Structure 1
């Protein structure tokens, strides 16, 4: 592998995979009418986080890698907004909301801090 970062060893990638798994588990309980709405949107955002991190590791420069990390970070904030909506419309419990909110905010911080190290 030519990339300088092995994405499988990055904590931010591993955390992203966990969010994706939990997103699929959580959205399973959403109403069937949301299959192509909020469920799908949250799933796509969740998958985008580790996918962009992995894709960025293949880039030849830190500048390009940083762009993919910015996209992953944007997806994390978008996902957090969708989580808030899911909670506000009572698709998820307060307990689930708090757990997932903590998880996504942790990833946001991890990605931001990692970006500072590769500038």
Structure 2
């Protein structure tokens, strides 16, 4: 297996954008009904924090394959967040304008994670084929 050069996660655009998403989501959840504090708000905040956290953790792994696994986890956390935001939309929670901003940035982050994961994993496969 290829030994990957570790990425400085703070320089990765996907990490930076996902941190922007954290800020936006926290601003949105501040306006949600107080009775959702220990349920939906807590779940949303945990999901959004998982995205940049997994990107950061994965960037320090030894191989591209391992990094790809953490990018997959970041992506699945973003899908969980997507569902939770859609629940908020159905329940008419919070500002619909803020919610739409969150959903738009989330979709952008999801595309970036997917594309970067594919790039990382395709490079791993090419390297393995060259070494065969």
Q: Over the residues paired in the alignment, what is the CA RMSD in angstroms? A: 1.3
With the length of structure 1 as denominator, give the TM-score of the two structures: 0.94
Per-residue deviation, 1:10: 0.5
Would the aligned equivalents of 2:28 and 2:99 in 1 still touch at CA under 8 Å? no
1:116 counterpart residue number? 118
1:43 counterpart residue number? 45
Per-residue deviation, 1:68: 0.3
1:31 counterpart residue number? 33
Partners of 1:92 and 1:81 lie apart in 2 by 16
With the length of structure 2 as denominator, give the TM-score of the two structures: 0.85
SS in 2 for 1:92: coil
Partners of 1:11 and 1:105 lie apart in 2 by 15
Corresponding residue pairs, total = 118
Structure 2 stretches lacking a partner, 5+ long: 122-132
1:64–1:46: structure 2 CA closer, same or farther, 3 Å change rule?
same
Structure 1 stretches lacking a partner, 5+ long: none
Structure showing greater Rg: 2
- The structure whose residues are more often helix, as a share, is 2
